[in-house]
């Protein structure tokens, strides 16, 4: 052959697709899942704007506006791209009352990692309480809340989302929050706002001693009586939910579940727990 001509080597297109997929997954891993940070216009009415706010205590805690999914996370194109590199199985295993399917059978660390890998995050405990309180105020007190598109969310939608989370009825529904509890030098700490550290290890941005909070298990509380860390501070016999405090067992994480006998904010959940109806909600920063 003359010049730079070389013999053509047959290539398996399927093999090329797999290589491209693997390269994309490596890029996503290095970037902490930052591909796809923007919400497509077609999906903006699946997210609610949770307005940023400030909570005072021994220290101040504040966060900016967030886009919070109105549904628990289900299989989507972003997840399809990375699911083979996750190291655990993701599949839709349950559905919400309106028919929306979502991913269950994931433990606490898998839930947080899944959100991070696709460019999102998980509600921490304080943000989770604010989200529930806003939904309640929208559904019952007609507080105006907005989709990520900027349109007003109809009251019937707010009622549906709030009831999906807290309504006491037969079908078990649950979701994880980004909070775990560890003893440090003899003092119980809350860890939250986890990120993916070296080799995919979850590393909290914040680790703080617990501020004053309510003791007891199965105590009825109101969403308006929580401290800046998202822990209940006062009993309320007419409150909306039950509450279990964290334990100093180095094995407590936070989540919320509802079933036929109760709606419960559980701060001593088992991080290895799984269930078809136990999923996670996705959050994105409002740019």
Q: 190's torsion region: left (phi>0), alpha (psi -120 to 50) or beta? A: beta
Closest CA to 279 of 129, 174, 195, 127: 174
pLDDT in the model for residue 9: 38
**What pLDDT shows up at residue 38?**
78
CA distance 20 to 37: 20
pLDDT attached to residue 7: 40
Alpha helices in 208-253 (DSSP H): none
* Under 8 Å between Cβ of 209 and 222: no
| pTM for the full predicted model | 0.87
- In whole angstroms, give the CA distance from residue 274 to residue 220: 25
Residues 147/153, Cβ–Cβ less than 8 Å: yes
The dihedral through the CA atoms of 10, 13, 19, 20 has a sign that is: positive
Q: How many helices and strands in the chain, by DSSP H and E?
A: 5, 15
pLDDT tens by residue, the chain, 287 residues: 444 443 433 445 445 444 444 444 444 444 334 433 579 999 999 999 999 999 999 999 999 999 999 999 999 999 999 999 999 999 999 999 999 999 999 999 999 999 999 999 999 999 999 999 999 999 999 999 999 999 999 999 999 999 999 999 999 999 999 999 999 999 999 999 999 998 889 999 999 999 999 998 999 999 999 999 999 999 999 999 999 999 999 999 999 999 999 999 999 999 999 999 999 999 999 87
Q: How much is the pLDDT for 199?
A: 84
Domain ranges of the chain: 41-285
> CB–CB of 123/68 below 8 Å?
yes
Separation between Cα atoms, residue 191 and residue 37, nearest integer Å: 24
Q: DSSP 3-state helix, strand, coil percentages of the chain (rounded to 5)? A: 25, 30, 45
* Strand-pair partners of 48: 68, 147
């Amino acid at each position: 052959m003359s010049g730079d001509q070389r013999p053509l080597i047959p290539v398996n297109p399927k093999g090329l697709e797999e290589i491209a997929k693997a390269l994309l997954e490596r890029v996503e891993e290095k970037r902490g899942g930052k591909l796809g940070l923007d919400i497509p216009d077609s999906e903006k009415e699946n997210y609610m704007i949770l307005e940023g706010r400030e909570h005072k205590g021994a220290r101040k805690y504040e966060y900016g506006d967030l886009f919070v999914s109105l549904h628990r996370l289900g299989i989507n194109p972003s997840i399809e791209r990375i699911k083979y590199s996750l190291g655990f199985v993701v599949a839709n295993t349950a559905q919400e009352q309106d028919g929306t399917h979502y991913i269950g059978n994931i433990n606490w660390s898998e839930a947080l990692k899944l959100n991070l890998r696709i460019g999102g995050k998980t509600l921490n405990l304080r943000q989770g309480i604010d989200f529930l309180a806003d939904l309640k105020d929208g559904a019952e007190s007609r507080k105006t809340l907005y989709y990520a598109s900027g349109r007003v969310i109809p009251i019937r939608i707010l009622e549906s989302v709030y009831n999906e989370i807290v309504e006491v009825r037969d079908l078990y529904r649950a979701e994880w929050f980004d909070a775990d509890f560890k003893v440090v030098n003899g003092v119980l700490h809350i860890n939250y706002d986890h990120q993916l550290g070296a080799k995919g290890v979850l590393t909290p941005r914040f680790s703080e001693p617990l501020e004053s909070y309510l003791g007891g298990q199965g105590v009825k509380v109101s969403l308006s009586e929580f401290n800046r860390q998202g822990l209940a501070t006062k009993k309320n016999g007419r409150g909306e939910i039950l509450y279990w405090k964290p334990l100093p067992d180095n094995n407590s994480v936070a989540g919320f579940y509802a079933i036929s006998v109760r709606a419960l904010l559980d701060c001593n959940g088992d991080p290895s727990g799984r269930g078809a109806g136990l999923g996670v909600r996705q959050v994105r920063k409002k740019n």
